[in-house]
C-alpha cells in the first residue's frame, strides 16, 4: 500500500469464524481500513479475538460494531442474517455498504433487505473459499487468493458502491463475478451444496455399517473415502442453514444426480462395461479443466505431503 | 540395507503404471531385489520404462518377465489378471510367490487360481494407496508409506511365503493386514469403490446441466466440488473392472447410501434442521479419526498450497 488513504475508514465484521477472521487478517495485511472492528456472539470468541490482536477493537454487540462503519460484513450463518440486519439497521451510517459472505444469496437478500434502510448500500456477497476448520483461530490472510467472490447486487444497486466492494475483494486476492441471487443459488447448489450433502451422506453411511467396523473404515480410507471426509467435517450450523435456505435448488440438483446414479447403477448391475468406461473417461477432463484454471493443486493427491522412505537396516 | 542378501533375487512386475512403477522405485530404493524386471502391454510404455532407467530389464512378453522370478506381481487392471495368469503359468519358477495389486480380491483369487500351478505360492494383495495419475511416469517411491497393504491368502497358503510377502510390503513403507478376500471386497466397497462411483456420478452430473455452464462449474469448484474431481480423474479401465468384478458388494453399499440420502433429502424437504444438524455433527468425528491415525493430512484443505498476498501499490 502506498501512503494513499485506505479504501474504508472503518470495517465492521459481524462474526469472527473462518471467513470473518480471514477477511480481518487479509484486510489488515493489505491496509484496506483505517480501523477494523468486530464482534462475535459468544463471550469466549470475543475474548479469543482480543488475544489474537488482529483487529483494532472487539465490541460486545452487533449494534456497537456496526455503528459508524462504512463497510459492514455479516460473517455468520445465513439463517441468522435477517435477525442481525434488524438489530443493526437503526445504527448504520448513511452511505455505508452492508454485505455478507453467506453461501446462499436469495434467502439472505430477502431476509436482510426487509430491515435495511434505503440510506445504505446493500450488496450481498459470497466468497467461494473455505476449509473444513472453523472458529476464530482458523482464518488466514491467503484464503481468498485466486478464489472467486460472487456479488449479487439488487437491481437498483449503486454502481459505485458495487465497484468499491469489488475493489475490496480484489485487494484481498479474489476474482469478482457479478450475477443474480437466483442464478448464484443454482450454480452453488451444484458446485458446493450437493457435494457437501453427498459427502455428509456417504461419511454417515460408512459409519453405520454392520459388517465393516469404524476402525476398518478409518484404516483403509486412503482408497478414496478420505477425500469425502474433509467437506463432511465442515461447520454443522452453517450447513444446516444452507440446506434449509436453498432447498429448491438443492432438490433440483439432487434429482439430476439421482438420475445419473441410476444410470451407472444399472450399468453395474447389467455388467455394461462400455457405459462405465465412457462415463469415467469423460469425467477425467473436468479435473484437468479445474487444474488448468488454477482452482486446484496440479500435483497428485491435492499436493498432500508424503513421508520419505527410511532404509531398513 | 546392510550387506545382507536382498529379500528376492528377481522381482518381476507385470505392468508399469502408477502402482507397478511405485513398487519398482521403492523396491530399488530399499535394495529389496538383486534384479527387477518388468514388462508392459504397450511398446510405448516399455520404451518409456527403458528410458526411465528404474528397472534392470524391460522384457517384451509377460512370460519372459515372469521366468526365473521369485516374486511376480501383476500390476494390471483386475479384469485381465486371469488371462495373464494363464499366460505366465507354464513359465513360473517352482516356489515363486505370485501376487497382484488389484482393488478387488474375490474375482482375482478365482480368476488367477484357476491357472496357477500348485508349485507356486499365490497370495493376492491390495495396497490401499494411489493418486489420480496413471502411466509409467506417475509412480514414486513414497506412495506406500503409512498406507495399508491387505493380503488375502487362500486357506491353504504357506505361512512363510505370506510372511515374506508381508516383509516386502513393510520394507517399502506399508502396514500389512490379512483378511479374507470376501471381507476385503466388502470393506473396500465402502472405503473406495462407492466413493469413486459417487464422485464419478456427481462430476458427470455437473457437466451436463442446462442452466449452469461448464465454465461456472470449474470457476466455482472451490465450494466443495473440486474435492470430488480428483478421484473422478482415476484410470477408467481400472475402475470399469472394479465395478464389474465387485458388483454385489458395491450394489449392497449403494443400497445403504441411498437409504441415508433419502433420509437427508426428506429432512431438507420438510425443513427439519435438527436431523441435518445432528447428522453433520456426527460426520465431523470421522475425519478427526482418520487424521489422528495418520491416514490424511492434518492441515486444512489436505495441505493444499496457498499463494501469498502481494501488497497492492
pLDDT band at residue A4 under the 50/70/90 scheme: confident
* pLDDT (average), residues B189-208: 97
Does B222 contact A303 at a Cβ distance shorter than 8 Å?
no
- What are the pLDDT digits (tens) for A281-309? 999 999 999 999 999 999 999 999 888 88
Indicate which of B127, B168, B240 best probes the interface with A, i.e. most A CBs within 10 Å of its own CB.
B240
Phi, psi of A301 (to 5 degrees): 65, 30
Q: Which residues are paired to B125 by β-bridges?
A: B151
Closest Cβ–Cβ partner in B145, B188, B256 for A205: B256
Specify the CATH number of the domain A184-296. Answer: 1.10.3660.10
With pLDDT > 70 as the criterion, what percentage of chain A qualifies?
Answer: 98
Nearest CA in chain A to B28: A311
CA distance A52 to A44: 12
- Percent helix, strand and coil across chain B, each rounded to 5? 50, 10, 35
pLDDT band at residue A5 under the 50/70/90 scheme: confident
- Mean pLDDT is lowest, of A307-311, B122-126, B259-263, for A307-311
* pLDDT (average), residues B251-277: 98
Report CA Rg, chain A. 22
CA distance A301 to B22: 15
| Residues of chain A contacting residue B304, judged by C-beta atoms under 8 Å apart | 296-297, 302-303
Residue in B95, B104, B97 with CA at minimum distance from that of residue B126: B104
Strand order in the sheet with B148-151: B125-128, B148-151, B175-178
With pLDDT > 70 as the criterion, what percentage of chain B qualifies?
Answer: 98
Candidates 3.20.20.60, 3.90.1150.10, 1.10.3660.10, 1.10.260.40; CATH matching B184-300: 1.10.3660.10
Neighbouring C-alpha atoms within 13 Å toward the C-beta of B162: 15
| Residues of chain B contacting residue A186, judged by C-beta atoms under 8 Å apart | 211-212
Does B286 contact A250 at a Cβ distance shorter than 8 Å?
no
Q: Is A248 on the interface with B (CB under 8 A)?
A: no
Chain A with chain B: Cβ pairs closer than 8 A: 409
Contact B150, B117 (CB under 8 A): no
Please check the confidence at residue B3 and state whether its pLDDT lies above 80: no
Residue in A291, A312, A289 with CA at minimum distance from that of residue A303: A291
Write out the H or E segment, with its range, that includes residue B57: strand B57-58
pLDDT value, residue B12 = 98
Structure pTM? 0.95
How close, in Å, is residue B287 to chain A by CA atoms?
5
SS3 label, residue B209: coil
| Residues of chain B contacting residue A220, judged by C-beta atoms under 8 Å apart | 128, 148, 150, 187-188, 191-192
| Residues of chain B contacting residue A245, judged by C-beta atoms under 8 Å apart | none
- What are the pLDDT digits (tens) for B34-49? 999 999 999 999 999 9
Q: Is B207 on the interface with A (CB under 8 A)?
A: yes
Q: Which residues are paired to B58 by β-bridges?
A: B38
How close, in Å, is residue B118 to chain A by CA atoms?
31
Does B186 contact A212 at a Cβ distance shorter than 8 Å?
yes
CA distance B21 to B136: 6
* pLDDT (average), residues A241-256: 98
Please check the confidence at residue A1 and state whether its pLDDT lies above 50: no
SS3 label, residue B98: strand
Can you give chain A as a three-state secondary structure string?
CCCCCCCEEEEEEECCCHHHHHHHHHHHHCCCEEEEEEECCCHHHHHHHHHHCCCCEECCCHHHHHCCCCEEEECCCHHHHHHHHHHHHHHCCCCCEEEECCCCCHHHHHHHHCCCCCCCEECCEEEECCCCCCCCCCCCCCCCCCCEEEECCCCCCCHHHHHHHHHHHHHCCCEEEECCHHHHHHHHHHHHHHHHHHHHHHHHHHHCCCCCCHHHHHHCHHHCCHHHHCHHHCCHHHHHHHHHHCHHHHHHHHHHHHHHHHHHHHHHHHCCHHHHHHHHHHHHHHHHHHHHCCCCCCCHHHHCCCCCCCCCC
Does A260 contact B205 at a Cβ distance shorter than 8 Å?
yes
Q: Is A44 on the interface with B (CB under 8 A)?
A: no
| Residues of chain A contacting residue B207, judged by C-beta atoms under 8 Å apart | 282-283, 286
Does B300 contact A131 at a Cβ distance shorter than 8 Å?
yes
pLDDT value, residue A142 = 97
Closest Cβ–Cβ partner in A145, A186, A284 for B306: A145
Please check the confidence at residue B273 and state whether its pLDDT lies above 90: yes
What's the mean pLDDT when you consider all of chain A? 96
Q: Where are the domains of chain B?
A: 8-179, 184-300
| Residues of chain A contacting residue B294, judged by C-beta atoms under 8 Å apart | none
Does A303 contact B304 at a Cβ distance shorter than 8 Å?
yes
Write out the H or E segment, with its range, that includes residue B130: none
Q: Which DSSP letter does residue B191 get? A: I
Does A218 contact B130 at a Cβ distance shorter than 8 Å?
no
Q: Which DSSP letter does residue B30 get? A: T
10 Å CB burial of residue A70 (0-12, 13-18, 19+) is buried
Q: Which DSSP letter does residue B115 get? A: T
Which residues 264-303 on chain A approach chain B with CB closer than 8 angstroms? 264-265, 267-269, 271, 273, 276-277, 279-284, 286-290, 293, 295-297, 300-303
Hey, what CATH topology would domain B8-179 get?
Answer: Rossmann fold (3.40.50)
> ipTM score of the complex?
0.94
| Residues of chain A contacting residue B31, judged by C-beta atoms under 8 Å apart | 311
Residue in B112, B123, B214, B106 with CA at minimum distance from that of residue B163: B123
- What are the pLDDT digits (tens) for B82-107? 999 999 999 999 999 999 999 999 99
Does A287 contact B232 at a Cβ distance shorter than 8 Å?
yes
- What are the pLDDT digits (tens) for A105-132? 999 999 999 999 999 999 999 999 999 9
Amino acid at each position: 500500500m502506498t501512503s494513499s488513504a485506505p479504501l474504508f475508514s472503518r470495517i465492521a465484521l459481524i462474526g469472527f469464524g473462518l471467513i470473518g477472521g480471514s477477511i480481518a487478517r487479509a484486510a489488515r495485511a493489505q491496509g484496506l481500513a483505517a480501523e477494523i472492528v468486530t464482534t462475535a456472539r459468544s463471550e469466549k470468541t470475543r475474548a479469543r479475538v482480543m488475544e489474537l490482536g488482529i483487529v483494532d477493537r472487539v465490541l460486545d454487540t452487533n449494534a456497537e460494531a456496526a455503528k459508524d462503519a462504512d463497510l459492514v460484513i455479516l460473517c455468520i450463518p445465513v439463517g441468522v442474517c435477517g435477525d442481525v440486519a434488524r438489530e443493526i439497521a437503526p445504527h448504520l451510517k448513511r452511505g455505508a455498504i452492508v454485505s455478507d459472505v453467506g453461501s446462499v444469496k436469495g434467502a439472505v437478500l430477502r431476509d436482510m433487505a426487509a430491515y435495511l434502510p434505503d440510506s445504505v448500500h446493500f450488496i450481498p456477497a459470497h466468497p467461494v473459499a473455505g476449509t473444513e476448520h472453523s472458529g476464530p483461530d482458523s482464518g488466514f490472510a491467503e484464503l481468498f487468493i485466486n478464489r472467486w467472490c460472487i456479488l449479487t447486487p439488487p437491481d437498483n444497486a449503486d454502481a459505485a458502491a458495487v465497484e468499491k466492494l469489488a475493489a475490496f475483494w480484489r485487494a484481498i486476492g479474489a476474482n469478482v463475478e457479478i450475477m443474480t441471487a437466483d442464478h448464484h443459488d443454482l450454480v452453488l447448489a451444484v458446485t458446493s451444496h450437493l457435494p457437501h450433502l453427498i459427502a455428509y451422506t456417504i461419511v454417515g453411511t460408512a459409519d453405520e455399517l454392520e459388517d465393516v467396523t469404524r476402525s476398518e473404515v478409518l484404516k483403509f480410507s486412503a482408497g478414496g473415502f478420505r477425500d469425502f471426509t474433509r467437506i463432511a467435517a465442515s461447520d454443522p450450523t452453517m450447513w444446516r442453514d444452507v440446506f434449509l435456505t436453498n432447498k429448491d435448488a438443492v432438490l433440483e440438483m439432487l434429482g439430476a444426480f439421482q438420475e445419473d446414479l441410476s444410470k451407472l447403477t444399472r450399468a453395474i448391475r447389467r455388467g455394461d462395461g462400455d457405459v462405465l468406461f465412457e462415463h469415467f473417461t469423460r469425467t477425467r477432463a473436468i479435473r484437468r479443466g479445474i487444474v488448468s484454471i488454477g482452482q486446484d493443486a496440479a500435483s497428485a493427491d491435492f499436493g498432500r505431503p508424503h513421508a520419505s522412505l527410511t532404509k531398513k537396516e
